Amino acid sequence: MSNYSRSSLRSPLGRVRALGSARHGAMHWWTERLTSLALIPLSLWFVISLLTTLLGAEAQGVAAWLSSSFTALLLAALTLIGFIHTKMGLQVVIEDYIHCECKKIATTLFKDTCCYALMALALAGIAKLHFIGL
């Protein structure tokens, strides 16, 4: 019989190296699932709006569509949640396939910078079209 508890699933080497859960994986997993669930109705709304209202519309028609507060709010939510979901998905790919720590850090910083910059530009565009118009 061994000296450690039978309920422990960690190997002796894992215990010595203190390797194990960083305690953030479950939160990341749940957040990724919740953002994907939120994207389903928002994406359906956007596709339906695109097909019924925006397809073939002139610039003034798009501006009139976006002047509604409800529309601007839903479009901002779609943009925000979409970029958060994309950022989290890319983080998983980086963690799984880039093994050099310095490349992983550089790629993560580049990913975060691009995601936040594009999200800010998209939200600023939505706000400009909603509040100011063309």
Domains and CATH numbers, the chain: 35-131 (1.20.1300)
Give the separation between CA 71 and CA 93, rounded to whole angstroms.
Answer: 33
Q: What is the pLDDT of residue 110?
A: 98
Largest CA distance in the chain: 78
Cβ(43)–Cβ(86) below 8 Å: no
Q: What is the pLDDT of residue 5?
A: 52
What average pLDDT is seen over the chain? 88
State the pTM of this model: 0.80
Confidence of residue 10 (pLDDT cuts 50, 70, 90): low
Task: Give the 3-state secondary structure percentages of the chain, helix then strand then coil, rounded to 5.
Answer: 80, 0, 20
